[in-house]
Amino acid sequence: MNIGILSYGMVSPGGIGPESLEKEWPCTKIRNALGTRSHDVALVDRTLPELARWDREPRLRRASPVTTFIVESANQALEAAPEIDLSRTGVVVSYFLGCLIYSIRFYREMIKDGRRFASPILFPETVFNSPVSHLVTTLGLGGPVYSQVGDKSCWANALRTAKCWLLNGSADHVIVIGAEEFDPHELDAFHAAAWLRGGNLIPSEGAGALLLTACAGNRMLTLSEVEDGYCFFNKQEAMEAARSCLQEFPEKSPILPSATSWAKKIEPKVLGKRALSCDNRQSSLPFEASTASAAWDTIRACRYLERKREGDLIIPYWGLSHQFAAARISSPPLIPKVSKSQSSLG
């Protein structure tokens, strides 16, 4: 059974929808939480009408910004496929940091005022399942629901989970979402991990969603393969893990460059001649929003194949903390048009 990609949606610093990939993403100098340094950060404009409208939903009034990103990106994907049965549509959301803003606010209050005074209103919005609960209730989805936590490569695990559901009949359609939100504490964490060195990483936020189906049409992009679980503890092991993972895919399939931070330097050694020859629309995004970035890279691959309308493309997911993963998306070959003279020969 082929797993088809019905549609997709995204929220990014470039705007709303996949078309934002074609735009310039503005950066802002943000100081870290300690106030000791500043760094370029690409943020979502949370005042955009497409996002502000969700504030009118009762469940979302106190929700963390990542929830709004998730709901909007999923809604875009669903609007492109209005005929599907929502009661048989599942959701898998993957995070790295999740509801960061409310988590920091909750623990700050607890440390400042004591555990007895920690806000019971804030706590429910700190857990990873909270945005998913808001999503399925707001959009009326009735299939299985799951949250997964990991680095950027966690997106591949979410794809594999969705594929499993579709193959075993747990759902007819699954929305897979990668999402993150930004807080200045993130700069301190990234600095401590040495991820900000070299200017190859711009912290970011947003979400991306793919709507998958168990019934792929003849002219539909398909999710052909997903590989994850290739762990590492240093850069040398990361190279070996990436090579081992990519060996599981067809040798002639091109690979979309997608690395940021320290992985940016070693990716060319791993991809070699298999790297897709990129123009500005396919070159690596320097913006790092973890699983949201993985979703954006997957959408970039989809848009590339939609323009090309043949072949396949491998998308590597360089998890900066511990794991490498990848997925392959395929486009059906073009069906040649049959002229009237040819059709009369039959």
Nearest to 301 by CA among 206, 162, 159, 179: 159
Q: In degrees, to the nearest 5, what angle opens at C-alpha 70 toward C-alphas 286 and 312? A: 55
Identify the residue with better confidence: 332 or 296: 296
Quick one: pLDDT band at residue 138, thresholds 50, 70, 90? very high
- Residue 220's φ and ψ, nearest 5 degrees, are -105, 140
Instruction: Give the span between the Cα atoms of 32 and 185, in whole angstroms.
Output: 6
Instruction: Give the span between the Cα atoms of 69 and 323, in whole angstroms.
Output: 25
Tally the C-alpha atoms within 13 A of residue 20's C-alpha that lie toward its C-beta: 22
**195-223 confidence digits (pLDDT tens):** 998 889 999 999 999 999 998 777 899 99
pTM: 0.91
The torsion of the CA quartet 149, 44, 62, 133, rounded to 10 degrees, works out to -40
Quick one: pLDDT band at residue 127, thresholds 50, 70, 90? confident
Domains of the chain, with CATH numbers?
3-213 (3.40.47.10), 222-331 (3.40.47.10)
Instruction: Give the span between the Cα atoms of 177 and 160, in whole angstroms.
Output: 12
How far from the centroid of its chain's Cα atoms is residue 247's Cα? 23
